């Protein structure tokens, strides 16, 4: 289920590349006068690796082994990536990394690893600086992380800490809603002069 949402960005990229993937390699252009995007074999290898990591994580998550679901995703975000996987990486890489970090944060917070989950959200936000679905999703996950932390603190009797975490969660959910509203508005806005 979680890999499906990630697959959306991959499928968009693959649709843009068209059916010429098997015919093109090593940066060649697509044939038949298509404006054609260069096919980057390193980017395709990274996307394939990411897809596999998410499928492995799905299997572990479905089996209830959240700790095992973390491992392939952690290897992905800590492993080799085009552009180093950082802020200067290609947009597709930054989006996949940000989405994977959001999933890692969700899994880690379910495991009670709230500090590690928060660090994953922060790392993802460094990659997703633009107003996109991915940035909004990271704030949504930040809300989940703080919500779970608040419940944990409440159970331990730390009411002040629980209330502070609950407030941070609500603020993060509000930020997520605002970002996603802007994403929707931009996508549905009519160009100037359009009827």
pLDDT tens-digit series, residues 87-134: 999 999 999 999 999 999 999 999 999 999 999 999 999 999 999 999
Q: Is residue 49 part of a domain?
A: yes
Q: How many domains does the chain have?
A: 1
Length of the chain: 195
Confidence at residue 10, expressed as pLDDT on a 0 to 100 scale = 47
C-alpha distances (whole Å) from 66 to each of 73, 106, 111, 153 are 11, 10, 7, 21
190 falls in which pLDDT band (50, 70, 90)?
confident
Confidence at residue 39, expressed as pLDDT on a 0 to 100 scale = 74
Q: Residue 195: is its pLDDT beyond 80?
A: no
Instruction: Please give the model's pTM, rounded to 2 decimal places.
Output: 0.81
Which has more confidence, 34 or 169? 169
Q: Is residue 134 part of a domain?
A: yes
Confidence at residue 28, expressed as pLDDT on a 0 to 100 scale = 40
- CATH at 164: 1.25.40.10
Q: What is the pLDDT of residues 174-183, one digit of tens each?
A: 999 999 999 9
| Closest C-alpha among 100, 84, 85 to residue 10 | 100
Confidence at residue 192, expressed as pLDDT on a 0 to 100 scale = 75
Q: Is residue 11 part of a domain?
A: yes
Identify the domain containing residue 102 by its residue range: 2-188
Q: Considering the chain, what is the average pLDDT of its residues?
A: 86
Confidence at residue 40, expressed as pLDDT on a 0 to 100 scale = 87
Q: Is residue 61 part of a domain?
A: yes
Q: Is residue 99 part of a domain?
A: yes
Q: Is residue 193 part of a domain?
A: no
Contact 176, 143 (CB under 8 A): yes
For 94, residues 6+ apart whose C-beta sits below 8 A from its C-beta are 85, 87, 127, 128, 134
Average pLDDT on 66-94 reads: 96
Tokens of 7: 């697959």
Q: Is residue 101 part of a domain?
A: yes
Q: Is residue 195 part of a domain?
A: no
Average pLDDT on 167-171 reads: 98
Q: What is the pLDDT of residues 33-64, one digit of tens each?
A: 445 566 789 999 999 999 999 999 999 999 99
């Amino acid at each position: 289920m979680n890999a499906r949402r990630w697959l959306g960005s991959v499928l968009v990229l693959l649709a843009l590349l068209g059916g010429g993937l098997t015919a093109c390699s090593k940066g060649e252009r697509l044939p038949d006068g298509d404006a054609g995007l260069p096919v980057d074999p390193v980017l395709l290898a990274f996307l394939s690796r990411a897809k596999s990591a998410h499928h492995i994580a799905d299997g572990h998550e479905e089996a209830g082994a959240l700790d095992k679901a973390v491992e392939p995703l952690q290897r992905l975000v800590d492993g080799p990536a085009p552009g180093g996987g950082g802020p200067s990486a290609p947009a597709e890489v930054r989006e996949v990394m940000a989405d994977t970090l959001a999933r890692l944060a969700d899994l880690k917070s379910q495991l009670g690893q709230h500090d590690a989950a928060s660090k994953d959200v922060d790392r993802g936000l460094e990659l997703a600086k633009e107003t996109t679905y991915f940035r909004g999703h990271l704030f949504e996950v930040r809300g989940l992380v703080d919500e779970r932390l608040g419940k944990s603190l409440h159970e331990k009797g730390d009411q002040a800490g629980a209330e502070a975490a609950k407030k941070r969660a609500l603020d993060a959910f509000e930020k997520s809603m605002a970002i996603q509203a802007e994403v929707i508005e931009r996508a549905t806005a009519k160009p100037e002069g359009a009827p």
